[in-house]
């Protein structure tokens, strides 16, 4: 099947690497950058690459298009393709928030199926793309409102990259990633911002000097890409607020137990977290 990729960054470029290795015919890429188009073609990662859809000639043989642009550019990217699309072409995306994107995309193209391949690194751009990034990682497909054969095509596609499929609604996806991906960004950012508010310069400098592996682990996602955090806050606001409110409540409960010197409450809470953590991390992290 012919495949198109819009946005040859970390995710789009890595998909292209895997598809090229599988010998996908008529594999095209759309990039804003001439340099990326040239590199992707030279490396044999795509058959053809262009900066404008009108420069491509593969529309009638394109079965599937994957949109791999930033969250706020997924629907605009789809809109730019509309004049060229073959009516049978199925479109998916890779955005890390699903409900608002799927709802808007379906108003433009009925054969749109939302996806979220849950693999990546902290890097970005085509230079960071690499083959084999998706193997054995989960991929969410949220196709409950698209035609069944379009959903099946998208599922087959992600399976061909050796991904483990998870089928759920866009809303369930967004609340789940709010808990395990988006809340951690803001908890971690909150940790860093709180430490930076320490008014005593000696203590603040000392804490920076003493910070070690525990602080590195808990602050990592809060020290990531600010633009990405802003997009998450904008696109997954309701689910993120729900998780943040629950988190604030738990912190207040823990604070109360510490203030009261309620050792049994503190112990019970920490025993629960010690026992339950491994259920979120497979294989269990130490």
- Under the binding rule (CB under 6 A), the answer on residue 96 touching ligand NAP is yes
Closer to ligand NAP by Cβ: residue 32 or 159: 32
CA-nearest of 167, 7, 159 to 73 is: 7
Give the pair of three-digit tokens for residue 149.
């054969």
**Is 10 near ligand NAP (CB under 6 A)?**
yes
- The verdict on 9 binding ligand NAP (CB under 6 A) reads yes
Judged by CB under 6 A, does residue 32 bind ligand NAP? Answer: yes
Q: Which stretch binds ligand NAP (CB under 6 A): 28-36, 142-150, 213-221, 264-272?
A: 28-36
36 binds ligand NAP (CB under 6 A): yes
Candidates 95, 100, 143, 170; binder of ligand NAP (CB under 6 A) is 95
Q: Which of 70, 138, 222, 229 binds ligand NAP (CB under 6 A)?
A: 70
Q: Which stretch binds ligand NAP (CB under 6 A): 10-18, 180-188, 248-256, 260-268?
A: 10-18
Binding of ligand NAP at residue 68 (CB under 6 A)? yes
The encoded tokens of residue 181 equal 């991906």
- The CB-of-274 to ligand NAP minimum distance in angstroms stands at 29
Nearest alpha carbon to residue 115 among 137, 88, 86:
137
CA 91, distance to chain mean position in Å, is 17
Q: Which of residues 100-159 bind ligand NAP (CB under 6 A)?
A: 116-117, 120, 124-125
- The least CB distance from residue 198 to ligand NAP, in Å, is 32
Cβ proximity to ligand NAP, 80 vs 257, nearer residue: 80
Q: Which stretch binds ligand NAP (CB under 6 A): 4-12, 54-62, 138-146, 248-256?
A: 4-12
CB of 67 to ligand NAP, least distance (A): 8
- 125 or 256: CB nearest ligand NAP: 125
- Identify any residues that bridge with 67 across adjacent strands, giving them in sequence order: 6, 93
Binding residue for ligand NAP, selected from 2, 3, 4, 7, defined by CB under 6 A: 7
Given the rule CB under 6 A, which residues bind ligand NAP?
A: 7-12, 31-33, 36, 68-71, 73, 77, 94-96, 116-117, 120, 124-125
């Amino acid at each position: 099947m012919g495949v198109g990729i819009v946005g040859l960054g970390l995710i789009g470029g890595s998909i292209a690497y895997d598809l090229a290795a599988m010998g996908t015919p008529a594999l095209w890429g759309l990039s804003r950058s001439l340099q990326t188009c040239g590199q992707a073609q030279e490396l044999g990662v795509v058959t053809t690459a262009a900066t404008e859809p009108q420069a491509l000639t593969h529309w009638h043989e394109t079965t599937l298009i994957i949109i791999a642009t930033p969250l706020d550019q997924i629907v605009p990217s789809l809109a730019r393709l509309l004049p060229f699309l073959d009516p049978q072409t199925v479109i998916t995306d890779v955005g890390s928030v699903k409900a608002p994107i799927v709802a808007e995309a379906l108003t433009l193209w009925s054969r749109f199926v939302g996806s979220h391949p849950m693999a990546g690194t902290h890097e970005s751009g085509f230079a960071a793309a690499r083959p084999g990034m998706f193997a054995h990682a989960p991929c969410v497909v949220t196709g409950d409102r698209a035609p069944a054969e379009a959903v099946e095509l998208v599922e087959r596609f992600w399976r061909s990259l050796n991904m483990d499929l998870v089928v759920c609604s866009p809303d369930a996806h967004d609340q789940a990633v709010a808990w395990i991906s988006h809340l951690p960004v803001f908890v971690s950012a909150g940790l860093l911002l709180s430490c930076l508010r320490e008014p005593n310069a000696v203590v603040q400098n000392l804490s920076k000097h003493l910070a070690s592996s525990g602080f590195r682990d808990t602050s990592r996602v809060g020290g990531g890409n600010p633009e990405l955090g802003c997009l998450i806050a904008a696109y997954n606001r309701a689910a993120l607020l729900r998780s943040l409110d629950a988190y604030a409540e738990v912190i207040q409960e823990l604070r109360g137990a510490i203030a009261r010197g309620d050792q049994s409450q503190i112990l019970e809470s920490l025993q629960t977290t010690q026992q339950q953590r491994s259920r979120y991390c497979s294989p269990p992290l130490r």
